[in-house]
Amino acid sequence: MAAQLSMLLAGLIFGFGLALSGMTHASKVLGFLDVTGNWDPTLLFVMGGAVAVSAIAFRFVLRRRAPLLAEQFSLPPARQVDAPLVAGAALFGIGWGIGGYCPGPGVALLAAHGWETWVFIPSMLLGALLHRAFKSSLGGGGARAAVAAPEN
Amino acid sequence: METFTPVTALIGGLLIGTAATLFLWLNGRIAGVSNIVAGLLEIRRGDVLWRLLFLCGLVAGASLYYLAFGEVPLHRADFPAWLLAAAGLLVGFGTSLGSGCTSGHGVCGLGRLSVRSLVATSVFVAVGIVTTFVVRHIFGVY
């Protein structure tokens, strides 16, 4: 029960912080990416604040043998930089630069729903499904796919 | 909301980092939204509830902010729906292929000093900048 509540709480703080930071407004995100327009550096401050906390606090957390409310850490395995990583990040960058939504603010569209919610979320899910279909059609060993899944 | 808002940005960022830290410390998991969502497409026993709880919390947290402060984002009247659908497809496919997004690679991966996440973050920010330039200043879509 404590574990379940903590998951809800982590999501709650995450969502509140996202909305407070202004990052649920596509206009603010695109204002950051639009460096040749009326540039808005807000996103840099959001990332700076978030990474400042994670970079310091993760060091202490990861020194523990196990998390407080689970048996073990579920971390992505250490891997090399590879083509899927770079190609995936590039495709994601195109979609992000078009719409101004990455997955967090995309999900948060449910909190302020309108036409963008019902267009963006289903197409994002379809995109993830298409990747799964594409991956299994390549038939690339199940072992590697299983290893690849838990990252982030 | 077109103006630079550094104070709320910084506080919001600190909250996001705190949420990611709590999630790792208490549950041992990476708060990467793209993977949390994509994992729901493949229902495995014992792997659904934590995802739903985090995502419900995320939506509730944003709702709470809008209720308290009223700054609800407006949906763009003139933005083409087909283009937003293409954006969604690319975000879903790309984050699945690249194993992460702004939260997983950006906030958590950079926090873990992961070279993969540093490369991914640099690539999606750079490509995002070029894409926004093309969409806004060449095609004139806002």
**pLDDT one-digit tens code per residue, B58-86:** 999 999 999 999 889 999 999 999 999 99
Q: CA-nearest residue of chain B to A18?
A: B12
Lowest-confidence pick of A35-49, B1-15, B99-113: B1-15
Which of A23, A125, A152 is facing B100, going by the closest CB pair? A152
Provide the percentage of residues in chain B whose pLDDT is more than 70: 99
Distance of alpha carbon A34 from alpha carbon A82, whole angstroms: 28
Question: What is the pLDDT at residue A140?
Answer: 56
Segment B16-31 shows an average pLDDT of 97
Say if B38 falls within a structural domain. yes
Which of A10, A50, A129 is facing B54, going by the closest CB pair? A10
Residue A46 has pLDDT above 70, yes or no: yes
3-state SS, residue A120? helix
Query: Which residue did the predictor score with more confidence, A138 or B7?
Result: B7
Residue A59 has pLDDT above 60, yes or no: yes
Question: What is the pLDDT at residue A152?
Answer: 54
Say if B127 falls within a structural domain. yes
Our count of domains for chain B comes to: 1
Say if B113 falls within a structural domain. yes
Q: Would you call B18 and A53 a contact, using CB atoms and an 8 Å cutoff?
A: yes
Segment A115-140 shows an average pLDDT of 92
Query: Which residue did the predictor score with more confidence, A21 or A146?
Result: A21
Please write the tens of the pLDDT for every residue from A77-118: 878 999 999 999 999 999 999 999 999 999 999 999 999 999
Residue B107 has pLDDT above 80, yes or no: yes
Interface predicted TM-score (ipTM): 0.96
Return the closest-CA partner of residue A22 out of B135, B6, B131: B6
Please, what's the b/e burial string for B109-126 (b: 16 or more CB within 10 A of its CB; e: otherwise)? bbbbebebbebbbebbbe
Say if B49 falls within a structural domain. yes
What secondary structure does DSSP assign to chain B, as a single string?
A: --S--HHHHHHHHHHHHHHHHHIIIII-B---HHHHHHGGGS--TTSSHHHHHHHHHHHHHHHHHHHHH--PPPPPSSS-HHHHHHHHHHHHHHHHHTT--IIIIIIIIHHTT-HHHHHHHHHHHHHHHHHHHIIIIIS---
Question: What is the pLDDT at residue B1?
Answer: 46
Distance of alpha carbon B30 from alpha carbon B50, whole angstroms: 12
Structure tokens at B135: 């969409």
**Nearest-10 crossing angle of helices B81-97, A115-138:** 40
- Mean residue pLDDT across chain A: 92
Query: Which residue did the predictor score with more confidence, A150 or B119?
Result: B119
Residue B114 has pLDDT above 80, yes or no: yes
Say if B1 falls within a structural domain. no
Question: What is the pLDDT at residue A149?
Answer: 45
Provide the percentage of residues in chain A whose pLDDT is more than 90: 85
Task: Show which of residues 74-133 on chain A sit within 8 Å of chain B, judged by CB atoms.
Answer: 74-76, 79-81, 84-99, 101-104, 106-108, 110-112, 114-117, 119-132
Distance of alpha carbon A60 from alpha carbon B40, whole angstroms: 30
Return the closest-CA partner of residue A70 out of B121, B123, B29: B29
Torsional sign, CA A8, A61, A47, B97: negative
Q: Using pLDDT thresholds of 50, 70 and 90, give the confidence band for residue B3.
A: confident
Q: Would you call A152 and B101 a contact, using CB atoms and an 8 Å cutoff?
A: yes
Can you give the pTM of this predicted structure? Answer: 0.93
| Count of CB atoms situated within 10 Å of the CB of A34 | 22
Question: What is the pLDDT at residue B2?
Answer: 52
Please write the tens of the pLDDT for every residue from A17-38: 999 999 999 999 999 999 999 9
Residue A143 has pLDDT above 60, yes or no: no
Q: CA-nearest residue of chain A to B23?
A: A10
Say if B98 falls within a structural domain. yes
Range of the domain at B123: 6-138
